[in-house]
């Protein structure tokens, strides 16, 4: 299959029976399991290689092969350990096809299987992240050093690559890390629109402006805090950040850094929140000023599913999550003033927020329902 959006692909495909080892992180279970279900409906025998801290905590009728998730910083020793575990999983399960998710894990799997010629591979690159879109010299130096290995893993080995936004797809092929005919565009990982059901805007006098995020500098946390300071001078609202500390990212925000940025601001830091549907339903407006290497941010799809208008950046991945001036507003990256202006504009018109929230749900159902995304993904297996 060439470089294409497979949104029009038929939902029923006749395939010969085969075995697939589908590998993803346990934290992504609720989203990724739909692809496993879609593959099984197409006749595939599916085993799930589940990256987890200890024993898997999920209940499933799929065969589960636990894989230890690296607990410490993702250095060479952790990578080598994971390579060994992935090779063992392949030898144990003898799959015809292996499908793994994220750039980091795809790279490690690619190294582990360089000399395994009979296995077909599918890699979902859910955003190119720090290595390709991080700021400063460090990501450039690391990427340059790794370029020969990237060529071997993603170009010479001929895996099939799934990209979540066209900018990433174009960048990766332009850098000659992949051939166009070995790539497919499937926007986002999808969202369970039944779990994230549409909810009316809350009726409280003080609207809630929420930024749901991992605590990474490039997600625009400081931009949100500064924009909140400006907007709070014109609108009466509560500003919140929902997200816990993160690991394994060079741009992660520490607790001390977070508290320093929040000092003197109107923003409340909620920490990690488990019940996201409830939190989103209590919010009026979602703001996500990211300039990170996103695929299509799941938090924005979840917000759209609940029927919330969104302010986000005109940046790869983020811009795909909304329709500008219909389901939300796009603002320039790192622009606190423009972000604050957009917040004020939205909060001064409840009718605008309600209309955009309604359109956001419609757009999400049409383009990003997780079952549709899963069907498009599983259908790729047959083409290989």
Q: Average pLDDT, stretch 267-274?
A: 95
More confident: 92 or 74: 92
Q: What pLDDT, on the 0 to 100 scale, is given for residue 77?
A: 85
Q: Average pLDDT, stretch 113-138?
A: 90
Q: How many CB atoms lie within 10 A of CB 274?
A: 6
Q: Report CA dihedral (153, 157, 86, 95) to the nearest 10 degrees.
A: 160
Q: Which of 4-8, 323-327, 336-340 has the lowest mean pLDDT?
A: 4-8
What is the residue-averaged pLDDT of the chain?
92
Let me know how long the chain is.
Answer: 384
Proportion of the chain above pLDDT 70, given as a percent: 95
Q: Report the alpha-carbon distance of residue 313 to residue 359 in Å, rounded.
A: 19
Instruction: Place 72 in a pLDDT band, splitting at 50, 70 and 90.
Output: low
Q: How many CB atoms lie within 10 A of CB 141?
A: 10
pLDDT digits (tens, 9 = 90+) for 154-213: 999 999 999 999 999 999 999 999 999 999 999 999 999 999 999 999 987 799 999 999
CA angle 95, 100, 101 (to 5 degrees): 165
Instruction: Place 9 in a pLDDT band, splitting at 50, 70 and 90.
Output: very low
Q: What pLDDT, on the 0 to 100 scale, is given for residue 12?
A: 45
Q: Average pLDDT, stretch 139-147?
A: 92
The answer to whether residues 161 and 2 touch, using CB atoms and an 8 Å cutoff, is: no
Q: What pLDDT, on the 0 to 100 scale, is given for residue 7?
A: 43
pLDDT digits (tens, 9 = 90+) for 238-253: 999 999 988 777 889 9
pLDDT digits (tens, 9 = 90+) for 81-91: 999 999 999 99
Q: Check pLDDT > 60 for residue 13.
A: no
Instruction: Place 112 in a pLDDT band, splitting at 50, 70 and 90.
Output: very high
* CB neighbour list of residue 315: distance below 8 Å, 6 or more residues apart: 290, 291, 294, 333
Q: Check pLDDT > 90 for residue 36.
A: yes
Q: Average pLDDT, stretch 336-361?
A: 97
Q: Average pLDDT, stretch 101-126?
A: 94
Q: What element of type H or E holds 241? A: strand 238-242
Q: Check pLDDT > 50 for residue 11.
A: no
Q: Average pLDDT, stretch 251-266?
A: 95
Q: Report the alpha-carbon distance of residue 102 to residue 90 in Å, rounded.
A: 18
Helix/strand/coil for 89: helix
Q: Check pLDDT > 90 for residue 17.
A: no
Q: What pLDDT, on the 0 to 100 scale, is given for residue 277?
A: 95
Domains and CATH numbers, the chain: 18-190+370-383 (3.40.50.2000), 208-367 (3.40.50.2000)
Q: Check pLDDT > 60 for residue 147.
A: yes
* CB neighbour list of residue 377: distance below 8 Å, 6 or more residues apart: 35, 38, 124, 162, 186
Q: Report the alpha-carbon distance of residue 63 to residue 47 in Å, rounded.
A: 5
Q: Check pLDDT > 50 for residue 299.
A: yes
Q: Report CA dihedral (219, 225, 231, 233) to the nearest 10 degrees.
A: 180
Q: Where are the alpha helices (DSSP H) in the chain?
A: 29-41, 76-93, 103-112, 129-133, 137-150, 166-174, 221-231, 255-262, 276-281, 298-306, 336-347, 350-367, 370-383
Positive or negative, the Cα torsion across 350, 214, 153, 117? negative
Q: Check pLDDT > 90 for residue 113.
A: yes
Q: What pLDDT, on the 0 to 100 scale, is given for residue 158?
A: 94
* CB neighbour list of residue 75: distance below 8 Å, 6 or more residues apart: none
Q: What pLDDT, on the 0 to 100 scale, is given for residue 74?
A: 61
Chain-centroid distance of CA 26 in Å reads 14
Q: What element of type H or E holds 18? A: strand 18-25
Q: What pLDDT, on the 0 to 100 scale, is given for residue 178?
A: 94
Q: Average pLDDT, stretch 210-228?
A: 96
Phi, psi of 81 (to 5 degrees): -65, -40
Q: Check pLDDT > 50 for residue 6.
A: no
Q: What pLDDT, on the 0 to 100 scale, is given for residue 10?
A: 41
The answer to whether residues 370 and 190 touch, using CB atoms and an 8 Å cutoff, is: yes
């Amino acid at each position: 299959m060439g470089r294409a959006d497979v949104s029009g692909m038929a939902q029923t495909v006749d395939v010969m029976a085969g075995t697939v080892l589908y590998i993803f992180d346990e934290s992504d279970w609720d989203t990724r399991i739909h692809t496993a279900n879609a593959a099984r409906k197409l006749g595939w025998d599916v085993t799930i290689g589940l990256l987890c801290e200890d024993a898997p905590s999920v209940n499933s009728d799929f065969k589960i092969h636990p894989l230890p998730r690296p607990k410490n910083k993702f250095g060479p020793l952790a990578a080598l350990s994971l390579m060994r575990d992935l090779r063992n999983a392949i030898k144990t399960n003898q799959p015809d096809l292996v499908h793994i998710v994220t750039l980091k894990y795809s790279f490690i799997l690619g190294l582990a299987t360089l000399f395994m010629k009979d296995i077909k591979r599918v890699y979902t690159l859910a955003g190119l992240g720090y290595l390709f879109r991080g700021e400063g010299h460090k990501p450039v130096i690391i990427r340059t050093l790794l370029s020969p290995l990237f060529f071997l893993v993603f170009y010479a080995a001929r895996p099939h690559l799934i990209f979540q936004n066209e900018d990433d797809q174009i960048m990766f092929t332009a850098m000659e890390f992949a051939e166009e005919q070995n790539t497919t565009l499937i926007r986002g990982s999808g969202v369970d629109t039944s779990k994230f059901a549409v909810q009316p805007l809350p009726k409280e006098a003080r609207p809630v402006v929420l930024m749901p995020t991992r605590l990474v500098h490039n997600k625009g946390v400081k931009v949100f805090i500064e924009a909140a300071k400006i907007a709070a001078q014109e609108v009466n609202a509560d500003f919140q950040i929902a997200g816990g500390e993160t690991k394994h990212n060079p741009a992660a925000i520490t607790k001390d850094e977070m508290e320093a940025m929040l000092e003197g601001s109107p923003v409340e830091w909620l920490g990690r929140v488990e019940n996201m549907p409830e939190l989103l339903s209590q919010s009026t407006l979602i703001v996500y000023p990211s300039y990170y290497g996103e695929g299509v941010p799941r938090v924005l799809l979840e917000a759209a599913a609940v029927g919330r208008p969104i302010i986000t950046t005109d940046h790869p991945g983020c811009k795909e999550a909304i329709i500008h001036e219909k389901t939300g507003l796009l603002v320039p990256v790192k622009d606190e003033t423009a972000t604050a202006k957009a917040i004020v504009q939205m909060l001064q018109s409840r009718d605008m927020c309600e209309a955009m929230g309604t359109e956001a749900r419609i757009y999400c159902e049409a383009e990003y329902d997780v079952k549709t995304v899963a069907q498009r993904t599983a259908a790729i297996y047959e083409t290989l």
